Amino acid sequence: MGECHPEITVAALAEQHGRFLLVEERIDGRLLLNQPAGHLERGETLLEALVREVREESAWAFTPERLLGVYLWRQPLTRRLYKRFAFTGTVHDHRPEQPLDTGIVATRWLTREEIRAGADRLRSPLVLRCIEDYLRGETAALEPIGHLELQAAHAVPAREL
């Protein structure tokens, strides 16, 4: 069996007036589109990572509102496995003067039709899948998203877990 330890990532889905916030990033010489997204860093909660990644990649502040879904995807070329936690929310406090994260060329607000038409430029199939799930209304509350520090977990007797 192959590697079964997925890399944990977060992604933000923000929509305004039928347009979705995407970032255009240069990867291996190609310009690809993705939701603002990235890896969880040591010591971060999912929501902290999400807010940080959106600000770094798009220069927008992001307020998470709902869990869109948890997606498992294996990149076909590298065979790396990703577990993506996608959230919906709103953006505000745009800072256009802020430099964007390394590799990010620009931010784009695109319609679902424009995104579908450029499907060959999507970083992964999860980009369109998240948009489709959002448009179907498939979201969940944030409250069940928990973060438990290792020390706190060890303090709880096993019978309570």
CATH fold label, 7-160: Nucleoside Triphosphate Pyrophosphohydrolase (3.90.79)
pLDDT digits (tens, 9 = 90+) for 92-115: 999 999 999 999 999 999 999 999
pLDDT digits (tens, 9 = 90+) for 1-33: 445 789 999 999 999 999 999 999 999 899 999
Please name the helix (run of DSSP H) or strand (run of DSSP E) that holds residue 55, with its range, or none: helix 46-58
Q: Would you list the domain boundaries of the chain? A: 7-160
